[in-house]
Amino acid sequence: MNFVIVLVALLGSVWLLAVIEGWTTTGRLRLTAPLLSGLAYLGRESIVPRTPDRVFFETAPVLLLIVAVLGAAVLPLAPTLVIADLATGALFINAALAYVLVALIMAGWGPNGAYAMIGGWRFLGQLIAYAMLIVMPITAVAMRAESLVTTVIVGSQDGLWNIVYQPLGFVLFFIAAMALAFRAPFDLPTAPGELGGGVDAEYTGVRLAVLRLARLTLVITLASATTVFYLGGWHGPLLPPWAWSLIKTLAVAVSMLLAGRYLPRIREADLMRWCWILGIPLALLNIIVVGLLVLVVP
């Protein structure tokens, strides 16, 4: 039952996000637009490029979708509304999202095209920049909760959300989450102005529909993770817990969307440099500060 509810919530959020994305780009609020364009994709020819690595080409969009859904499976909407309340939930979401990289490498290598291949390998470089900034802030979150269980992590934020308790961790995680979801300004693997779509470039028709759905689901999953780890999950007055989770998740997802609209794409070299020279020391500092807070403040 939980499985169905969470999946419906995920799909609903993806639809809302797509509507809002269309609203910001075209200026018109059309509720049916994502469904119609999805149907239109199904009706279009799905071209397979010349001499592809067929296995990778076909698997990549599906793998990306599966990975995004798996990540969402450990994130609670309400105290009992979670598909799998794993004892290692905070680690599991890292494990699931590590396969975003694998999916993108497959999508880059599969079509046998220069734009896609550069995009795919670029994301590997991007991983080296963001990976530590995903894992280290989560470590600090788990330190406060003294648990890797996502429901316990939300429970530990009763009264004081982690965004207040460890704001530095939140900022780093938010940026790294955007890089992991390859949203603008970190959209190096797709980069329409540089690679003409990159890993997306060779996908058409049904396959592109799956890829788009997977990308939006990934954004929702990461927004949901941000909510669970930093924004107190289901905590909030008046409304029922699941409603708070959904509202916060959508708010984070939309803020990711808008941040990209008002910023130019980052240079690959700058992303690496800032993540390593600035990001990792700050993440370590965050761990030390949280450690001191946990030990000193009762």
Partner 1 sequence: MYAQAFFVAVFGLAAIGFGVVVFRTSSMVRSALALLFSQTAVGCMFLAMQTEFLGVLQIMMMATEMSIMAIFMVMFMMDPGGMGGMDMTHQKRFSIGAGVVAAGVAIVVAFWADWGPVTAEAPDAAMQTRALGIELLGRSMLIFETAGVTILTAMIAATAVAIPVQTTANSADKEDTE
Partner 2 sequence: MIEVTKDLPRSADGLAMDWMKVPFGPVFPGLPGGLKLTLTLDGDGVTEGQATSLVGMINESEEGKEIDAETFIERLASAMPLASVSYRLLACLAIERAAGLENDSATDQARAVALECERIASHLGWLAQTGRQLGFAWLTDRAATLQLEIRRASGKRLVELTPALQALAARLGRTPLLKSRLTGIGVLPSGTAGLSGPVARAADDAGDAWARLWQRLDEIITSLDYIKATGEPGLPVLRNIGRGSGTGEATVETPRGEAQLSLILEHGQVKSYRLDTACSHHIGLVATLVEGRELGDALVAVGSLDLSPWEVIS
Residues of the shown chain interacting with partner 2 in the complex, contacts defined by CB under 8 A: 24-25, 114-115, 118, 121-122, 184-185, 187-188, 191-197, 260-270
Partner that binds at residue 207, options partner 2, partner 1, none, CB closer than 5 to 8 Å by kind: none
When asked if residue 99 is in the footprint of partner 1 (CB under 8 A), the reply is yes
Region from 98-106, 253-261, 277-285, 289-297 binding partner 1, contact rule CB under 8 A: 98-106
What kind and span of H or E run contains 37?
A: helix 33-43
How many C-beta atoms lie closer than 10 Å to residue 27's C-beta?
7
Q: Which two tokens stand for residue 188?
A: 């190096």
37 vs 112, beta carbon nearer partner 1: 112
Per CB under 8 A, which of residues 108..147 are in contact with partner 1?
109, 112, 121, 124, 127, 131, 147
When asked if residue 254 is in the footprint of partner 1 (CB under 8 A), the reply is no
Minimum CB distance to partner 2, residue 53 (Å)? 16
Partner that binds at residue 127, options partner 1, partner 2, none, CB closer than 5 to 8 Å by kind: partner 1
Minimum CB distance to partner 1, residue 108 (Å)? 10
Length of the chain equals 298
Nearest to 166 by CA among 74, 87, 231, 97: 231
Q: Which two tokens stand for residue 163?
A: 């965004």
Per CB under 8 A, which of residues 53..72 are in contact with partner 1?
53, 55-56
As a whole number of angstroms, the distance between CA 226 and CA 176 comes to 11
Rg (CA), the chain: 19
DSSP 81: B
Amino acid letter for position 132: M
As a whole number of angstroms, the distance between CA 196 and CA 202 comes to 10
Those residues whose C-beta lies under 8 Å from the C-beta of residue 238, and which sit 6 or more positions away, are: none
Q: Which two tokens stand for residue 265?
A: 């794409």
* Interface with partner 1 (CB under 8 A), residue from 7, 20, 66, 102: 102
As a whole number of angstroms, the distance between CA 49 and CA 234 comes to 46
74 vs 253, beta carbon nearer partner 1: 74
Minimum CB distance to partner 1, residue 162 (Å)? 20
List interacting residues with partner 1 (CB under 8 A): 51, 53, 55-56, 86-88, 91-92, 94-95, 98-99, 101-102, 105-106, 109, 112, 121, 124, 127, 131, 147-149
